[in-house]
Structure 1
């Protein structure tokens, strides 16, 4: 018997999701911000404001997707992402960057949860196992992110703004595809006022379902700890003497290595939920002790941990949460991640502003502390 295949809408959504993972600007963002006069702490502050935007909007936009239209939410988010890239193309200072980060936060909050909930609905309709599909999409996303990093690095070597211009075009193409996809899945139906209903869903996720609440805290903390590397990589590459034109290749390598983490999950390999904390901590400690051309490859370990966590994150939520509130539940998880991640990012960047290696060592200490907290409470989320 042949396995079922995704229909037209599912395939389009898969392609659209992969396309929005084609991120060109990561290798050059730090360089552009630095060229506009931002130091390490100011860069961390821009990310805090970006995260704060998402914290405010995550649950309302997720609820909108569940209640009204996941398709419209996803497609509109892509448009906001494109506008954010356009602003960045012409940015001349701190406030232009802030405007771009806010627009980017609005866009991500609209797409986050809506795309995966829609993909799950189409997968179920077509009889395709969603867990493996999600892991495969995660792997494809890391591949396209790697390719985007290479292209972005090459473009950025000529002009730091070109990757943002092309990125805006990519997001517009993704938005066009997203608008052609039909809605699917169960939508939230209730007579309760939308604000009260959204609050009740948040309360359910964080208090009404103990295992879900602890798993939300765990995955949010794991994501935050592994993505501390995002704003430490470029200054680490520069400190290690890596030529700018090779930054895109290194970003691509680090992104592609995350595939092994996703595949680790896809093939049902076993690893304790908290082990990625220790893997990342080991990388941060060695990098903080000795930053060189040899040790910068240890960022690969944090990327592997990121891949494991990313592949585990949403399938669990979609397994235990009713279908009509899944986009909202994923938004709650993302909101918690932003609260934890933005706080840690600001702290680590403040420390790194004094000396980069102090920032790397502090990231390692944070990972060990988080590992201890969740290891001692393992029975609450397993």
Structure 2
């Protein structure tokens, strides 16, 4: 598909900004001819993006669904990275793409950012236990529908809506479901991730590092550069006219390995004490409700799936075996993000060019 028109949302954020820099610097031949635009709030941010050669679509609020639908109707692909919990805007983007499909007869695509907390086990509260290791080669859509029937979780509900709206309009929807994302971003604005800096900021505010509950939660991680390279792969496949998993089968994992939250909490304490920001490495244990108040606006379910859960999944072996897996969530990343969180500076961690070359040569099926 030559001259593919692509709209990137969330271009001023951590993930979207890093995707933007990856696409702008991509050496993939299929991406040389795409016409990339960004959705942005405010003239100041738009100015920064236009100075980088981007076309910018302005909006004020995600509730402007008619505006967003109209904007999307001018594009072949929308990459949605604004927020995974705003159902109405996601549906509006897909409806707009559906209009373009009806008008031009040209297939349109919607790439949606979700999150692995949708499928997290809940062993701390005992509300849901999963003994299997899930694979994105399974029917994850049906599994999430079942989980949603037990307890509604807005990010998961949005994901279900994305699939259903895509099927109704003929738009091919592909959902990326990353676990904990770490590492310094490469965008022009926010370069900090979410979960790990929240733990740092809590420690700096309290004067003591924290842990959430007594349960030794296990999660998966992915480095931001590995994740953005997955976006590059998916978009390149679309640009080449090759198949991309979509609809009920288009939910893709992106794991780089496992980590213990307890080790990360300890890494936060060590990193901040080393930098003179804390006097002790001893951890303060937050109850589930305390953590909910601190991190999730009082919602215990949200904080449990994000910090005290067990994530049982495995991505497609073809992709995983070619990833450049950066196993430094509690070591290198803790030190790097400690510096960024305490000094508000930023730097980028490197990644293996050989592995990235291999990564570009494969596809997630």
TM-score (norm: length of structure 1): 0.28
Higher strand share: 2
Higher helix share: 1
Greater length-normalized contact order (CA 8 Å, ≥ 6 residues apart): 1
